[in-house]
Every structure is written in C-alpha cells, then in structure tokens.
Structure 1
Amino acid sequence: MLFRLTVSAIVMTVVSFGSIIGFAQFRLRSKATGTSVSVKHDGLEREYRIHVPENLPADAKVPLVVCFHGGGGNSRTASVMGLTPVADREGFIVVYPNGIDRHWNDGRESPMFAEQDQSIDDVGYVMGLIERVCKKHPIDRDRIFAAGLSNGGFMTQRLAIEHSDTFAAVAVIIATMGEPLSKRFEPKSPVSILFMNGTEDRLVPYEGGPVGKPVTNRFNQVKGHEDAPRGLAISTDEAVALWVKHNQTQPEPKVELVPDTNQEDHSHIESSLWVGGERGTAVMLYKVVGGGHCLPGGSQYFPARLVGYPNQDVKGFDLVWDFFEKHARQPQ
C-alpha cells in the first residue's frame, strides 16, 4: 500500500508540473516529423521544426499553421501529435516552435515561471519565426493559423489577443485564457477561434481557477503562492464570451451533438458555433462532456484518475483544420 501511494504521488507530481503532454506524446510516438531549424532571437539560440509537404502546388500560396507543444514538451513532441499527416493530406505548411525549458510565456503570469517569463520573449520569437517562414515559402498571409495544447493553448490565446492582425483563426485545446490576459483583452482585429476542452480536465479546470494545482503543497516550490503556483485561468465559457463579443458574432450559437461513435470512452462532444462575426469570423466550442486533459482521438497516456479520459469519437486535429479551412481572413 505504501509503495502504491508513493508511486501515485510521484506520478501526480509529474502531472502537476505540466509535463504530461510532451512526455506522453514522445513516449507513444517518438519519431519526429519535419526539419529542425536553429535561429537567434534576443541573444538566445532558438529552435523550431518545419514540415513542408512534398505535394504542395508550385504556383500557389499555401496556408501556414503554427503548432505549440504543451508544458514539458518541445518541438519534437509537438511534431508527432497528429497535425503533420493532416498537413500532408490537406496541403499546408506546419511549424512547431520550441519553448525555453519546455515552457511558454503564455500570459498566466505564473509565479512558478515568473523569472523565466520576465526574461524570455516568446511572443517576439514566434512573430519573427512567422516572418522568416513567410520570406522563405509561398505563404498566404490571409491563412496564417495557430494551434496549441495546454501551455501551448494558453500561448496560442495570447498570440491571438496581442497579434490579432496576423492570425486568421486559432485553436485553443485543453486550455482557456490566463486571468491576467482577460483583464487586458483588447485585440485590434477579429479572429476566428476554436476551443476544445474537457469538462473533467484535472489540470485546466473547465470552470476556471488554479492551473495544474499539485496534490499537496509540499510540491509547490513557490512560497506564498500555494493555491495557484502555475497561475489562474478564467473559465472556458468566459473566454468564449469574450471572443463572441469582440468578433460581434450572432449572440446565439448553433448547437449540435457530435455522433457518439465510441460508447466506451466515458465522454461525448457538444459543439456550439457562433457565426456572423466581423469579417466573417466565428467562435467554435467543442465541449467534451466527461473528457479530460487529452486531445480527442489521443491515447490514454496516464491513468484516468490523474488526467481523465480521452474522447475517441473524433480526431482533434481534423476538427481544427476543418475550422481553419473555413475561416481564412476576409478583407475589411
């Protein structure tokens, strides 16, 4: 019994430190995709992976998707999460940026990462990366998109707010919006946005609050911030409402049930779509009822008692690309 409790505590500690997405994806599918590229930014050596499908048309501009790994991950783990096959099938370039020390400065102002966040310019790095890729490849600037999971989802949210003139649409997966960002939510342009969150997420609560709160305070390592060492997030519904208002969509969504094709995954998905926004923008919410801190279609990478259940009715990145494809930036 003591051994079992000790193992559970250790696993929960790993989970609570935000390493689950990167660790699990690397463990389950370790062969990276794309080509690694090193760049200098702000005096630091930075890295990203880029995947350019072989069948891209030679005479046409193509979409670009920037995909962010979760906390504890890196560009390599992001490249095996399942977006690369979609890029090959649908014909777009995908870039997987690499965070510093497996973390993104995502706007939560997390006490645990305060020192790193003050010194690392992740936003500037990503925007410079996009410019670099646009200069080297025929990118359609009206079809630049971003997607991210967990810490990467929060980072995607920050970019959509602070650089709304660049991104036509973004996807925030198993993440919402850092509470500090919500207090200065003033995007300059409308942005189509998709949320994909589980109601039983143990790390990023659907209803908001402390992110990745550890099972016991002795694992916090942040004195004076025992309740929320990794910062606070607003609820999914609050984040959705901010974007519905900003994009000036129709006030009532079209609500549908995604076919519950897998009766053993402990979850089903409700979709809500707000349309009619400024410049053709929309807001989409995939509410994974019963789902955990997992990409739909992914594996049960840790016991359900720690991270919840992954929905198996859909493949998450297929839904993301379907949304992106319909929401290129329209002229003013």
Structure 2
Amino acid sequence: MHLTFLLSLAALIGISTAKTPGCGKAIPSLFPTPGTNQTLKLPGSDRQYQLYIPANYDKNKPTPLYFSFHGASGTMIIQEALSQFSNPLFNPNGIAIYPNSKNGYWLSHPKAETTRPNDLDFTNDLLNHMEEKLCIDTNRIYSAGKSNGGGFTGVIACNATVGSRFAAFAAVSGAWYNTDDIEGVGPCAPAEREEGYPFLEFHGTTDTTAPIDGNTKSDPKLPVIDILQGWAARNGCGDQAQWARNETVFAKPLVRHASWDCDGKKGIVQHYREGDNGHCWPSTVGNSDYVSHPDQCPLGKYVFNATEYIFDFFGGYQLAE
C-alpha cells in the first residue's frame, strides 16, 4: 500500500502516527521501571520531576503523555497522590509526569519566580527531554493541575509556543490570576490552530481559597465564568458566549455540568460546578485534600472522580497530523 493511503487510514480510525526520537530506544537506566514512579532531575537544570511509565509501555509504540501540576506550596509527590495520574484504573496506557515548581509556586501566582528559564521554559525543556528519551505520541500530550497548578495549565494553554504542543487542558479548583502584567506570562495569546483549545474546569461552590466567583480582596482572583467564557471565545464562540448545555448530573450534592459548542466543536469547553465541595480534588474514596482540609472538604469524599472525567475528556482530543 502507498504510504499516503496508510497515513489517511490511520487518521480515519484514530491511530496516531506521530513519533519522537525516543521511539525504538530502550528506557534509560535512570528512569523508573514500567509500572512505578521515580523522582528525577532534568539534565542541565536544578528542576525535579516525578515520572511514571505504564507497565505495558512499548518502546516502538507512540505513547500519550500527561502532565499533572501541583498547587501552591505543594509538591510533585503530593500531586501524584492527589491526582492519581499513575493509577492504571484511570490511566492504563499513558506516561504521567509531575513537575516540581521552583519555590512551591507556578507562574501566574504572585509569589512565583519569574527569572529565566521560567516555568514555561522548564515545561518546554521537560517535554523535549521526554520526546528524546521515550516514545511519545506528540499528538496526545495533555496538561492538568490543581489550584495554582490549574492556573499554570491555563498559562501553558495561553502560550503560543508551549501551549501549541498540548492537545487539551484541565484544571481542578483553578486559582485564576490576571496575568497581563506578570513578567514572562502576559495576556492570553494562544497560537491559532484548527483543533482549537479543549478546556475543562472543576470548581467547588464553597471554595474559599480560590472562590468560584472570584476574590477582589488581598489576593485577587478572577471568577471562573470569566475563564470559561474566555476559552469559549478563543475557540470561536464569540465574546460572552453562553453555554449550550447546563445540566444536573448529581442531585445531592448538586453537581451541574455546563458545556460550550464552538465553531462546530461540541463540548470543547466544559465545567463541573460542585455543590458542597470546597478547594478539593473530587474523589469517590477521598484523598489528602479531604483529610488535611476538612473545613473545605466536609463530605470526606465526593460523588465523582475528577481524574476519571479528565481522562475521558482528554481521550476525545488529539492534535492533527
């Protein structure tokens, strides 16, 4: 068969043909054994990250890559346990990576270090490193984060250079700061691309750390609806676009799911509004958020797993060949 026909067939049936220099190479000896996590240092820098390689990793098969960013004053270790991107129940086939911030804060937070190389440089360099050492599917790279890590996921999506390498984005309890005047960030200006920018956000109605309606006091944060409408506009919905659907998915506690259809792309922007939940990563079995912050997470667990929903959302998107 002709190569062009094979490539067209692969696209039609949803098989990515994207490969990286790491394809065909043995896993580096310093990397974790498949099925486990390991803390590593990015060569040529002082930055650390934790890496998970799935048990079924095949050096000849392009593999999706999932970034998970910790919240303010958090760590990669905390984020691995919280998001569970290394759990095969949620992520049976992908590589998960948990970067560590410079000083406990990511770009967009007022306390984040902005000197170059900054967090965007680090993310770009870390992605280059993964593609050099492992067989990465460059069409299926994703970013998610909690709180400040969710806000940084938005910073990535807004960056024309780094964000263009990611297929979709998700934030849990995102801390949304105005970045227009922050060095190294600036106004949101993603590169134009045919696939658009799929964006998913979760937020508790009783969140007092990053209030769902914003905060204009000592630590000002933007309302979540402004972030969602911003991404709807960038995806072709126009300014102040209203959702196409806003449905009740759980009655007690009340959980509503809003979604926007933009430029022919159904549900490209989505939001889960969590009743009776605060600054917590939703989980049906509970997690460290529910143990450490009972005032924010009084239910002890929640009615859905945010991680499951994130992977379902990510599974619907990949970059074009």
TM-score of the two chains, using structure 2 as the length reference: 0.76
Asked if 1:329 corresponds to 2:319, the answer is yes
Quote the residue 2:279 is aligned against: 293
Aligned residue in 1 for 2:155: 158
Cα displacement (A) at 1:251: 5.1
Per the alignment, residue 17 of structure 1 pairs with none
How far apart are 1:278 and its partner, in Å?
A: 6.9
Alpha-carbon shift at residue 310 of structure 1 (Å): 6.0
Shift of 1:202: 0.9
Aligned-pair RMSD on alpha carbons? Answer: 2.7
Which has the larger helix fraction? Answer: 1
Residue in structure 2 matched with residue 194 of structure 1 by the alignment: 200
Map residues 211-222 of structure 1 onto 2, 5 A cutoff: none
Larger displacement relative to structure 2 (196-205 or 246-255): 246-255
Deviation at 1:195, TM superposition (A): 0.4
How does 1:1-332 map onto structure 2 within 5 Å? 34-40=37-43, 44-81=45-82, 82-86=84-88, 89-105=91-107, 107-108=108-109, 110=110, 113=111, 116-118=113-115, 121-162=118-159, 163-181=162-180, 184-189=187-192, 190-210=196-216, 227-228=217-218, 231-249=219-237, 252-260=243-251, 263=252, 267-277=253-263, 282-297=268-283, 298-299=286-287, 300-306=290-296, 309=299, 312-330=302-320
Partners of 2:312 and 2:90 lie apart in 1 by: 14
Deviation at 1:252, TM superposition (A): 3.5
Question: Residues of 2 paired with 1:319 and 1:288: CA distance?
Answer: 13
The one-letter code matched in structure 1 to 2:101 is G
Residues 260 and 266, structure 2, Cα contact 8 Å, conserved in 1: no
Aligned partner of 1:15 in structure 2 is none
51-60 vs 270-279, greater mean Cα deviation? 270-279
Conserved? CA contact 2:278–2:296, under 8 Å: no
> Partners of 2:207 and 2:90 in 1: how far apart?
31
Measured after TM superposition, the shift of residue 322 of structure 1 is: 0.3
Name the stretch that deviates more: 123-132 or 173-182: 173-182
Would the aligned equivalents of 2:54 and 2:92 in 1 still touch at CA under 8 Å?
Answer: no
Structure 1 position 180, deviation (Å): 2.5
State the secondary structure of the residue aligned to 2:165: coil
Partner AA of 2:313 in structure 1 = F
> C-alpha offsets along residues 36-92 of structure 1, whole Å, 9 cap, x if unaligned?
111245xx5111111000113454212111100111221111121222114774301
Size of the aligned set, in residue pairs, is: 270
Task: Describe the SS at the equivalent of 2:158.
Answer: helix
Identify if the C-alpha distance between structure 1 residues 181 and 310 changes in structure 2 by more than 3 Å, giving closer, same or farther: farther
* Counterpart-to-counterpart distance in 2, 1:314 and 1:154: 22
The structure-2 alpha-carbon separation of the partners of 1:34 and 1:303, relative to structure 1 and needing over 3 Å to count, comes to: closer
Q: Which amino acid aligns with 1:133?
A: M
Instruction: Give ranges in structure 2 of 5+ residues lacking alignment.
Output: 1-35
- Offset at residue 268 of structure 1 (A): 2.6
| One-letter amino acid matched to 1:301 | V
The answer as to whether partners of 2:258 and 2:271 remain within 8 angstroms in 1 is yes
Higher mean C-alpha deviation, range 78-87 or range 151-160:
78-87
SS across alignment from 1:90: coil
Does the aligned pair in 1 maintain the 2:70–2:76 contact within 8 Å? yes
Structure 1, 75-84 or 53-62: larger mean CA deviation:
53-62
Distance 1:209 1:308 in 2: 22
Whole-angstrom CA distance in 2 between matches of 1:252 and 1:47: 39
Whether the aligned pair in 1 keeps the contact of 2:212 and 2:223 (CA below 8 Å) is yes
CA change 1:255–1:61 in 2 (3 A) is same
Checking the alignment, whether the CA contact within 8 Å between 2:206 and 2:277 is kept in structure 1 is: yes
Partner SS state of residue 117, structure 1: coil
SS at match of 1:45: coil
Q: Is the 8 A contact 1:293 1:308 kept in 2?
A: no
CA spacing shift, 1:291–1:277, aligned 2, 3 Å: farther
Say which is worse superposed, 163-172 or 119-128, in terms of deviation: 119-128
Task: Provide closer, same or farther for how the CA distance between residues 145 and 310 of structure 1 changes in structure 2, counting only shifts above 3 A.
Answer: farther
Q: After superposition, what is the alpha-carbon deviation per residue over 1:155-211, rounded to whole angstroms, capped at 9, x for unaligned?
A: 11111101331111010110143113497222113311100011110100101125x
Provide the C-alpha distance between the structure 2 equivalents of 1:68 and 1:131, rounded to a whole number of angstroms.
17
Aligned partners of 1:52 and 1:92 also within 8 Å: yes
